[in-house]
Amino acid sequence: HELGTPLATMAVVIGELQHDTEAHPGKFCQTEFSPAELRDSLSILDEQVRACRRILDKIMLNAQDSGASALKPADELMAGVLDEWQLLRPTAQYHYQTDGMPPAPLLNVDVTLRAALMNLLNNAADASPQGIAISTRWDSANFTLEIHDSGEGLSEEVALKAGSVFFTTKTEGHGLGLFLANATLERLGGTVRLYNRESGGATTKLTLPIARVQT
C-alpha cells in the first residue's frame, strides 16, 4: 500500500499531462522542451511507472506465499531478482552474464532466497559503487552464482569472520546480510563464501543444488 498509492498518483498525474500535451500543446510552448519532446518524456515515465507496478505486484505475490517453496528455472529467478533489485537501487550499475547451457536448471525457491540474493547484491554494490559483475553457471549437480565487486577487498579479520553471527562491517560493504544469506543457503542445501580476487575487490560465491524432479 505504501508504494502502491504513490505509484497510482504518479500514473494519474502522468495521464493528465499526456492529455494536456495532446489537447493543448500551446500551453507548453514557453518551456525549454517542445510538445513532442514532452510527450516522449511522459511516455517513458508512464512505462517506468507501469514497470514498477508490475514488479510491486510480484513482490506482493511473493510475500503472500512466503512460507512456501516452488521449483523455478534459474534464469527466471535471476531475472526476477535483478528486476526487483533495480527497483530498490535504480542507480546501481551491473553487468550480468550466464555461461550455463540451456535449458536452465530448476531450483527450490522461496521468498527468503530472493531476499538473501538481494542482500548479497546490496553488499557488493555498497563496496563497489562504480558497478559490479554478476555471473551464473551450472552443471549436472549445482547452480553457481558469483558477484564480483571492485572495492578494497577483505581484510584478514573480515575474511575469517565473514558470515559469523553478529559480525558486521558496513564500512567494507559486507556484514549481517552475509550471515542471513548463509543461513538461508544452508537451509536449502547450498553454501555462500566470500574471498578476495587477485585483480582486486572481492567475490561472493553462492552454490545451490539443482532440484531433482521425480517422474
Mean pLDDT, residues 37-52: 82
- Range name among 6-10, 58-62, 69-73, 173-177 with the lowest pLDDT average: 173-177
Tens of pLDDT, residues 110-128:
878 988 899 899 989 998 9
- Domain boundaries, given as residue ranges, for the chain: 4-64, 70-209
Residue 120 Cα distances to 41, 50, 109, 123, 214, angstroms:
34, 27, 16, 5, 31
CATH number for domain 70-209, candidates 3.30.565.10, 3.40.50.1110, 3.30.950.10, 3.40.50.2300: 3.30.565.10
Query: Does residue 157 surpass a pLDDT of 70?
Result: no
Query: Does residue 97 surpass a pLDDT of 50?
Result: yes
**Cα 107 to Cα 172: distance, rounded to the nearest angstrom:** 31
pLDDT band at 215 (very low <50, low <70, confident <90, very high): low
What cell does 149 get? Answer: 565487486
**Cα 117 to Cα 149: distance, rounded to the nearest angstrom:** 15
Looking only at the bridges linking them, the beta strands covering 94-98 and 132-138 are: parallel
pLDDT band at 144 (very low <50, low <70, confident <90, very high): very high
